[in-house]
Amino acid sequence: MKILHLQFRIFCFLFILAICSCNFKSRQEDKNGSQENWIQLFNGKDLNNWQPKFKGYETGFNLRNTFRVEDGLLRVSYDEWDRWGNEFGHLFYSGEFSHYRLRVEYRFVGEQVKGGPSWAFRNNGLMLHGQTAESMEKDQDFPVSIEVQLLGGNGRDERSTMNVCTPGTNIVINDLLVEQHCISSGSKTYHGDQWVAAEVEVNSGEIIRHLVDGKEVLRYEEPQLDPRDKYYQKLLPSDSNKIISKGTISIQAESHPTDFRKIELLIID
Protein backbone atom coordinates (compact mmCIF):
# COMPACT_ATOMS: atom_id res chain seq x y z
CA MET A 1 0.00 0.00 0.00
CA LYS A 2 2.83 2.37 0.87
CA ILE A 3 4.50 1.57 -2.45
CA LEU A 4 1.32 2.42 -4.38
CA HIS A 5 0.95 5.65 -2.45
CA LEU A 6 4.57 6.60 -3.20
CA GLN A 7 4.14 5.82 -6.89
CA PHE A 8 1.00 7.97 -6.98
CA ARG A 9 2.85 10.90 -5.39
CA ILE A 10 5.71 10.55 -7.88
CA PHE A 11 3.21 10.47 -10.76
CA CYS A 12 1.50 13.64 -9.48
CA PHE A 13 4.84 15.41 -9.12
CA LEU A 14 5.91 14.54 -12.66
CA PHE A 15 2.51 15.56 -14.02
CA ILE A 16 2.66 18.98 -12.33
CA LEU A 17 6.26 19.45 -13.49
CA ALA A 18 5.23 18.74 -17.10
CA ILE A 19 2.38 21.26 -16.93
CA CYS A 20 4.67 23.96 -15.49
CA SER A 21 7.23 23.29 -18.20
CA CYS A 22 4.63 23.64 -20.95
CA ASN A 23 3.29 26.87 -19.46
CA PHE A 24 6.82 28.31 -19.21
CA LYS A 25 7.49 27.43 -22.83
CA SER A 26 4.24 29.08 -23.92
CA ARG A 27 5.09 32.25 -22.02
CA GLN A 28 8.51 32.38 -23.64
CA GLU A 29 7.00 31.90 -27.08
CA ASP A 30 4.42 34.60 -26.41
CA LYS A 31 7.14 36.95 -25.17
CA ASN A 32 9.35 36.34 -28.18
CA GLY A 33 6.40 36.77 -30.52
CA SER A 34 5.50 40.13 -28.98
CA GLN A 35 9.04 41.41 -29.52
CA GLU A 36 8.75 41.05 -33.29
CA ASN A 37 6.31 43.93 -33.68
CA TRP A 38 7.93 45.67 -36.67
CA ILE A 39 6.73 49.18 -37.51
CA GLN A 40 6.45 49.84 -41.24
CA LEU A 41 8.04 53.27 -41.67
CA PHE A 42 7.27 53.09 -45.40
CA ASN A 43 3.69 52.02 -46.07
CA GLY A 44 4.13 51.36 -49.81
CA LYS A 45 1.53 53.98 -50.73
CA ASP A 46 2.69 57.49 -49.85
CA LEU A 47 5.20 59.57 -47.88
CA ASN A 48 3.01 59.87 -44.81
CA ASN A 49 5.16 60.71 -41.73
CA TRP A 50 8.14 61.61 -43.95
CA GLN A 51 9.47 65.15 -44.48
CA PRO A 52 12.09 66.32 -47.03
CA LYS A 53 14.86 68.84 -46.43
CA PHE A 54 17.11 70.02 -49.31
CA LYS A 55 20.14 72.25 -49.02
CA GLY A 56 19.13 75.82 -49.84
CA TYR A 57 15.42 75.23 -49.30
CA GLU A 58 12.99 75.31 -46.42
CA THR A 59 12.02 72.11 -44.62
CA GLY A 60 9.13 70.33 -46.32
CA PHE A 61 9.96 71.36 -49.90
CA ASN A 62 10.39 68.31 -52.14
CA LEU A 63 12.81 69.68 -54.73
CA ARG A 64 11.94 68.54 -58.28
CA ASN A 65 9.76 65.74 -56.91
CA THR A 66 12.91 63.82 -55.97
CA PHE A 67 11.34 61.75 -53.21
CA ARG A 68 8.26 59.92 -54.46
CA VAL A 69 6.29 56.67 -54.31
CA GLU A 70 5.84 54.69 -57.53
CA ASP A 71 4.83 51.05 -58.02
CA GLY A 72 4.93 50.45 -54.28
CA LEU A 73 8.53 51.71 -54.01
CA LEU A 74 9.97 54.73 -52.24
CA ARG A 75 12.13 56.27 -54.93
CA VAL A 76 14.92 58.81 -54.95
CA SER A 77 14.49 59.95 -58.55
CA TYR A 78 16.38 62.42 -60.73
CA ASP A 79 14.30 62.32 -63.91
CA GLU A 80 13.21 65.95 -63.34
CA TRP A 81 16.78 67.20 -62.83
CA ASP A 82 18.85 68.62 -65.70
CA ARG A 83 22.05 68.80 -63.70
CA TRP A 84 23.40 68.38 -60.19
CA GLY A 85 23.75 71.60 -58.22
CA ASN A 86 25.03 70.46 -54.80
CA GLU A 87 21.45 70.41 -53.53
CA PHE A 88 21.83 67.50 -51.12
CA GLY A 89 18.54 66.15 -49.87
CA HIS A 90 17.31 64.10 -46.93
CA LEU A 91 13.94 62.56 -46.20
CA PHE A 92 13.23 62.47 -42.46
CA TYR A 93 10.86 60.11 -40.69
CA SER A 94 8.92 61.82 -37.91
CA GLY A 95 10.07 61.38 -34.32
CA GLU A 96 13.30 60.35 -32.64
CA PHE A 97 14.48 56.85 -31.75
CA SER A 98 16.97 55.39 -29.30
CA HIS A 99 16.97 51.56 -29.01
CA TYR A 100 15.89 49.81 -32.19
CA ARG A 101 16.60 47.63 -35.18
CA LEU A 102 16.16 49.19 -38.61
CA ARG A 103 15.72 46.96 -41.65
CA VAL A 104 15.73 48.14 -45.28
CA GLU A 105 15.80 46.63 -48.74
CA TYR A 106 17.34 48.92 -51.34
CA ARG A 107 18.80 48.95 -54.84
CA PHE A 108 20.55 51.45 -57.08
CA VAL A 109 19.06 52.00 -60.53
CA GLY A 110 19.70 54.01 -63.67
CA GLU A 111 22.33 56.65 -64.24
CA GLN A 112 23.72 59.26 -61.88
CA VAL A 113 22.42 62.75 -62.60
CA LYS A 114 24.77 64.79 -64.80
CA GLY A 115 27.40 66.63 -62.81
CA GLY A 116 27.02 64.51 -59.68
CA PRO A 117 30.19 64.00 -57.60
CA SER A 118 32.16 60.86 -58.42
CA TRP A 119 32.02 59.62 -54.83
CA ALA A 120 28.20 59.78 -54.93
CA PHE A 121 27.94 57.18 -57.72
CA ARG A 122 25.56 54.48 -56.44
CA ASN A 123 25.66 56.10 -53.02
CA ASN A 124 22.89 56.63 -50.48
CA GLY A 125 22.71 56.44 -46.71
CA LEU A 126 20.67 55.81 -43.61
CA MET A 127 21.24 58.80 -41.35
CA LEU A 128 20.74 57.66 -37.73
CA HIS A 129 20.84 59.47 -34.37
CA GLY A 130 20.44 62.61 -36.47
CA GLN A 131 19.39 66.13 -35.62
CA THR A 132 15.87 67.13 -36.62
CA ALA A 133 15.13 68.60 -40.04
CA GLU A 134 13.87 71.78 -38.36
CA SER A 135 17.18 72.29 -36.53
CA MET A 136 19.23 72.21 -39.75
CA GLU A 137 20.52 75.43 -41.26
CA LYS A 138 19.00 76.34 -44.61
CA ASP A 139 22.30 75.80 -46.46
CA GLN A 140 23.49 72.81 -44.42
CA ASP A 141 24.66 69.84 -46.54
CA PHE A 142 23.97 66.95 -44.15
CA PRO A 143 22.30 66.51 -40.77
CA VAL A 144 24.71 65.91 -37.92
CA SER A 145 24.26 62.16 -37.56
CA ILE A 146 25.72 58.69 -37.88
CA GLU A 147 25.52 57.64 -41.53
CA VAL A 148 25.14 54.00 -42.47
CA GLN A 149 26.55 54.33 -45.96
CA LEU A 150 24.87 52.32 -48.73
CA LEU A 151 27.08 51.74 -51.77
CA GLY A 152 26.80 49.83 -55.05
CA GLY A 153 29.58 48.44 -57.21
CA ASN A 154 30.59 49.63 -60.68
CA GLY A 155 30.72 46.13 -62.14
CA ARG A 156 34.48 45.75 -61.76
CA ASP A 157 36.00 47.01 -58.52
CA GLU A 158 35.45 45.97 -54.92
CA ARG A 159 33.31 48.38 -52.93
CA SER A 160 31.78 47.45 -49.59
CA THR A 161 28.36 48.63 -48.45
CA MET A 162 27.06 49.35 -44.92
CA ASN A 163 30.12 51.44 -44.09
CA VAL A 164 29.92 54.16 -41.44
CA CYS A 165 30.45 57.89 -42.05
CA THR A 166 30.30 60.60 -39.42
CA PRO A 167 29.00 64.05 -40.48
CA GLY A 168 29.58 66.18 -37.38
CA THR A 169 30.20 63.14 -35.19
CA ASN A 170 32.80 60.63 -34.00
CA ILE A 171 32.65 56.98 -32.92
CA VAL A 172 34.72 54.55 -30.85
CA ILE A 173 36.14 51.29 -32.24
CA ASN A 174 38.15 48.90 -30.05
CA ASP A 175 38.25 51.51 -27.26
CA LEU A 176 39.85 54.10 -29.57
CA LEU A 177 38.18 57.35 -30.63
CA VAL A 178 37.89 57.40 -34.43
CA GLU A 179 37.90 60.84 -36.06
CA GLN A 180 38.26 59.51 -39.61
CA HIS A 181 35.15 60.43 -41.61
CA CYS A 182 34.37 57.01 -43.13
CA ILE A 183 35.21 53.46 -42.06
CA SER A 184 34.63 50.53 -44.43
CA SER A 185 32.67 47.46 -43.41
CA GLY A 186 33.54 43.85 -44.11
CA SER A 187 30.73 43.32 -46.61
CA LYS A 188 31.07 41.99 -50.12
CA THR A 189 30.41 44.17 -53.19
CA TYR A 190 26.91 44.34 -54.66
CA HIS A 191 27.09 45.12 -58.37
CA GLY A 192 24.20 45.98 -60.66
CA ASP A 193 20.60 46.71 -59.74
CA GLN A 194 20.12 43.83 -57.29
CA TRP A 195 18.16 44.24 -54.07
CA VAL A 196 20.21 44.28 -50.87
CA ALA A 197 18.82 43.45 -47.41
CA ALA A 198 20.48 45.62 -44.75
CA GLU A 199 19.90 45.93 -41.01
CA VAL A 200 21.23 48.16 -38.25
CA GLU A 201 20.95 47.48 -34.53
CA VAL A 202 21.16 50.68 -32.49
CA ASN A 203 21.59 50.58 -28.72
CA SER A 204 21.20 54.22 -27.69
CA GLY A 205 24.67 55.71 -27.05
CA GLU A 206 26.31 52.32 -26.80
CA ILE A 207 26.92 49.64 -29.44
CA ILE A 208 25.75 49.97 -33.07
CA ARG A 209 25.94 46.95 -35.39
CA HIS A 210 25.65 46.80 -39.21
CA LEU A 211 24.40 43.62 -40.88
CA VAL A 212 24.01 42.60 -44.52
CA ASP A 213 21.93 39.53 -45.38
CA GLY A 214 21.90 38.70 -41.66
CA LYS A 215 25.71 38.79 -41.26
CA GLU A 216 27.44 41.39 -39.07
CA VAL A 217 29.90 43.46 -41.13
CA LEU A 218 30.71 46.35 -38.76
CA ARG A 219 30.46 47.23 -35.07
CA TYR A 220 31.29 50.41 -33.13
CA GLU A 221 30.12 52.30 -30.06
CA GLU A 222 29.76 55.61 -28.25
CA PRO A 223 28.42 57.79 -31.11
CA GLN A 224 29.19 61.36 -30.12
CA LEU A 225 29.21 64.95 -31.28
CA ASP A 226 32.49 66.15 -32.79
CA PRO A 227 33.87 69.30 -31.06
CA ARG A 228 35.55 70.26 -34.35
CA ASP A 229 32.22 70.59 -36.15
CA LYS A 230 30.71 74.06 -36.60
CA TYR A 231 27.32 72.88 -35.31
CA TYR A 232 28.78 71.36 -32.13
CA GLN A 233 27.85 74.13 -29.71
CA LYS A 234 24.39 74.46 -31.20
CA LEU A 235 23.60 70.75 -30.71
CA LEU A 236 25.45 70.14 -27.43
CA PRO A 237 22.83 69.51 -24.70
CA SER A 238 22.71 71.55 -21.50
CA ASP A 239 24.50 68.83 -19.54
CA SER A 240 27.43 68.97 -22.05
CA ASN A 241 27.20 65.22 -22.71
CA LYS A 242 28.65 64.58 -26.18
CA ILE A 243 27.29 61.02 -26.41
CA ILE A 244 24.32 60.80 -28.78
CA SER A 245 21.67 58.51 -27.30
CA LYS A 246 18.79 59.18 -29.70
CA GLY A 247 17.88 61.02 -32.87
CA THR A 248 16.08 61.09 -36.20
CA ILE A 249 16.18 58.62 -39.09
CA SER A 250 16.51 59.85 -42.67
CA ILE A 251 17.53 58.64 -46.12
CA GLN A 252 19.59 60.58 -48.64
CA ALA A 253 19.36 62.10 -52.08
CA GLU A 254 22.88 62.84 -53.30
CA SER A 255 22.70 62.39 -57.09
CA HIS A 256 22.11 58.67 -57.81
CA PRO A 257 18.61 57.16 -58.21
CA THR A 258 17.78 54.69 -55.43
CA ASP A 259 14.76 52.49 -54.69
CA PHE A 260 13.58 51.31 -51.28
CA ARG A 261 10.92 48.61 -51.07
CA LYS A 262 11.11 48.07 -47.31
CA ILE A 263 11.91 50.37 -44.40
CA GLU A 264 10.82 48.93 -41.07
CA LEU A 265 11.74 49.40 -37.43
CA LEU A 266 11.58 47.29 -34.29
CA ILE A 267 11.79 48.97 -30.88
CA ILE A 268 14.05 46.95 -28.55
CA ASP A 269 14.69 47.12 -24.79
Q: What is the pLDDT of residues 226-235, one digit of tens each?
A: 999 999 999 9
Q: What is the pLDDT of residue 36?
A: 78
Comparing 36 with 220, the larger pLDDT belongs to 220
Instruction: Report pTM.
Output: 0.87
DSSP bridge pairs for 182: 165
Residues 122, 127, 131: CA angle, nearest 5 degrees: 145
Q: What is the pLDDT of residue 140?
A: 98
CB atoms within 10 A of CB 156: 8
Phi then psi dihedrals of residue 53, to 5 deg: -145, 115
pLDDT over 50 at 73, yes or no: yes
Q: What is the pLDDT of residues 98-110, one digit of tens each?
A: 999 999 999 999 9
Comparing 171 with 9, the larger pLDDT belongs to 171
Comparing 16 with 174, the larger pLDDT belongs to 174
Q: What is the pLDDT of residues 182-219, one digit of tens each?
A: 999 999 999 999 999 999 999 999 999 999 999 999 99
pLDDT over 70 at 25, yes or no: no
Contact 183, 168 (CB under 8 A): no
